[in-house]
Chain A
């Protein structure tokens, strides 16, 4: 077992040596002149292209760069499987060990199967140097190389797991799928985890790619955040309530610990208690945060509400009163109880410098089932420059909350002889104008004008 390996090493050394002499111009100065090899690589494919473009030009020799790449390739092993894949024993088509090698008249070796497939699939030329090949005349079995490969002794890649097979690479290859020691679910593609996986970074990359490297570069802020979270977690986990430590500190004296010594860490009855305390603490932190958020929200809502509630300046109401009468049931019983009880709406101006009005509801003791509605002029700072008596049109509307067509409309035109439209002598003119019998209360209820114990009356006053 030992000998064939040393043999092989020798072979390999010789091989490298011969390569050196062969490509002396390229490889001899490889380290110093890596750019020159680079240029060389680049120039060859152009040659290939020009030969194609020109059509009839003589076949050129591109494979120097190709064979160079194969040397690079073979120099460092790919996986455990092909430990010593030697460029001389490599098929350029499948880039694997030569299986039943054949030799072409132009001096290149391929697997028999690979070359046959190539010639059947493609034009009749060598994949390495484009020389014309005839399947009958230019291809010979290379039994010398076949024997060489057969004499190489390789261990099965599963040898660390206990497989004792030592055979030629081809046989090892054939043996692998049935190797009793093969890893059962063979991980076809290994996954590369992020080193931050411990703190819950769920990135997974392919080892052949540089995805991980890129991930580490680009996702740094994410990792910092994860680290902060992890730190907070441990801070919470290691947090210990102050009380517990003092109480056990007192207990430590009884246990015979001296004064100078630090109090031992708090002891809980069992791990479960400790866990509960930690969970509770975390919960408190979460709840406090939520409370703070809710408080801010409430404050914002309050602000909005305050803005919305600000009543419209009556000067700009354009002579319209939208009177939303709440708690109608209570109101009606209050109005019935005393004939002097009445309720006034908010005021309105017909225009910013116009007449000031309000409306009034009451119930006459003689007719307790009927609401009376009157409109009253009010004293205002504009009275001195306005024309008296007031001339205009007053529209009253009892709004039906669901069916607008049922709303009750009434229109009153003023008359100069009515005292209610003369300049008021009191804050609210004692005389009003309207309907003593505006609406029957039971009808209002019946016809559905009252929703949610509210009645809506809209009054529009316009100058004529």
Chain B
């Protein structure tokens, strides 16, 4: 069984390396170790989304029972998205769970994740806070997502206001990532964020 997983991954790997998307630099995949059980994926943020211009790194773990069970995929790059945990990078996507099909490949998984970035499902959230912001304060969601893309994935949009608020919290001795997380959750309200951190 494990043998089948490895031989399939090898074939899929070649498929991805030859695909059009890799030429367009839209997806990328590379090996982490020699056993072909752990891979590292990279997807580009889709155009016309707050993630545009960012490069998101994914951890892909291939189970021994692959392709009968889905690969375990997680965002390593931090991202602000209703279906992705802003803390752990865990992904809520049905094809990585119950709707997995053996005919799916690494390439289709990466493309699906790219599509998920373009079309969030706030009604089936992984990160409830993000989903609430998405539904209730969409403008703030866009700003936060762009800011995170800039901070973690090399996106082009900078928000000096956010940076200065984060710096204020850092001056109080808060870790940068914690500061960004709490401010994002509190809709960039510095007072509420401070209260949340120090109470």
Contact = CB atoms under 8 A, between A and B. Distances in A.
Interface of A: 34, 37-38, 41-43, 45-46, 48-53, 63, 65-66, 69, 72-73, 76, 78, 92-96, 114, 117-118, 121-123, 125-128, 130, 189, 206, 208-211
Contacts of A50: 121
A51 B15 contact: no
Given A66-B104, A96-B7, A206-B31, A48 B94 contact: yes
A93 B67 contact: yes
Contacts of B128: none
B164 interface: no
Interface string B109-122: 00110111011010
A204 to B, nearest CB: 12
Contact of A69 (B17, B107, B116): B107
Nearest to A93: B102
Given A69-B108, A127-B101, A208 B17 contact: yes
A209 B29 CA distance: 8
Interface residues of B, number: 48
19 contacts: A38-B21, A49-B121, A51-B94, A51-B99, A52-B98, A53-B124, A65-B108, A73-B15, A73-B18, A93-B67, A95-B8, A95-B105, A96-B7, A121-B65, A125-B101, A127-B104, A130-B99, A208-B10, A209-B31
Of all A-B residue pairs in the complex, the 3 with the closest CB atoms, nearest first, are A52-B94, A45-B112, A127-B102
Contacts of B20: 34, 37-38
B191 interface: no
A95 B115 contact: no
B103 A128 contact: yes
Contact of B102 (A69, A72, A114): A114
A77 B7 CA distance: 15
Interface in B3-51: 4, 7-8, 10-15, 17-21, 24, 26, 30-31, 34, 46
Contacts of A95: 8, 11-12, 105
Contacts of B118: 42
Given A78-B14, A117-B68, A209-B31, A52 B114 contact: no
B69 interface: yes
Contacts of A126: 101
A189 B115 CA distance: 33
B123 A53 contact: yes
A45 B111 contact: yes
A69 B94 contact: no
A49 B13 contact: no
Given A53-B94, A209-B31, A92 B112 contact: no
B166 interface: no
Nearest to A66: B103
Looking at A49, A53, A76, A92, the one whose CB has the most chain B CB atoms below 10 A away is: A49
Given A49-B116, A95-B8, A69 B95 contact: no
B93 interface: yes
A37 B23 CA distance: 14
Contact of A94 (B8, B93, B100): B8
Nearest to B65: A121
B137 to A, nearest CB: 23
Nearest to A85: B11
A92 B103 contact: yes
A92 B99 contact: no
Interface in B62-108: 65, 67-69, 93-95, 97-105, 107-108
Contacts of A96: 7, 11
A52 B95 contact: yes
A43 B31 contact: no
B99 A48 contact: yes
Nearest to B28: A210
Given A42-B114, A206-B31, A209-B31, A128 B101 contact: yes
Contacts of A117: 68
